[in-house]
Amino acid sequence: MSQTKTTRKRRSWESIKRTKGKSLSSAKASAGMDERRRGYREAREAFDLAEQVREARERLGMTQAELAARIGSTQPAIARLEGGGVTPSLDTLRRIASALSLELVVQLRSRRVAA
């Protein structure tokens, strides 16, 4: 009979899994938030860079096909870049800057701390 009482006092496996799942879910949710934030930041950086390329190209009255020909690429590749869908390599950025008569400036600086 005491064995039955002991069994009743123990937590069920399902209860333990739910508890562990919640603590793991919290950790995963926190990591997921960091991943989303990083993903958002990277997407924003790609978009900002794409906008600079597009504006500079349009200021010169150049088409995507003309820019692509100048840098040895294709018009669809320029369209993807300008759409913010890809992050170009440093070499590609150098060729784009040269084709648009711009200076490429790459800077490393301290990260801003979110308040």
Say what the pLDDT of residue 38 is.
84
pLDDT at position 8 over 80: no
pTM score: 0.66
Does residue 2 belong to any structural domain of this protein?
no
Domains contained in the chain, number: 1
Residue 39 zone, left/alpha/beta (φ > 0; ψ -120 to 50; rest): alpha
Does residue 44 belong to any structural domain of this protein?
yes
Q: Find out whether 95 and 68 touch, Cβ atoms under 8 Å.
A: no
Does residue 36 belong to any structural domain of this protein?
yes
Range of the domain at 57: 12-99
CATH of residue 58's domain is 1.10.260.40
Say what the pLDDT of residue 24 is.
47
Does residue 95 belong to any structural domain of this protein?
yes
Does residue 25 belong to any structural domain of this protein?
yes
Does residue 115 belong to any structural domain of this protein?
no
32-56: pLDDT as tens digits: 778 888 888 888 888 899 999 999 9
Look at residues 3, 85, 95 and name the one whose alpha carbon lies nearest to residue 51: 85
69-92: pLDDT as tens digits: 999 999 999 999 998 888 899 999
Q: Please report how many Cα atoms fall inside a 13 Å half-sphere around the Cα of residue 9, on the Cβ side.
A: 6
Does residue 46 belong to any structural domain of this protein?
yes
Say what the pLDDT of residue 25 is.
54
Does residue 104 belong to any structural domain of this protein?
no
Q: Is 106 helix (H, G, I), strand (E, B) or coil?
A: coil
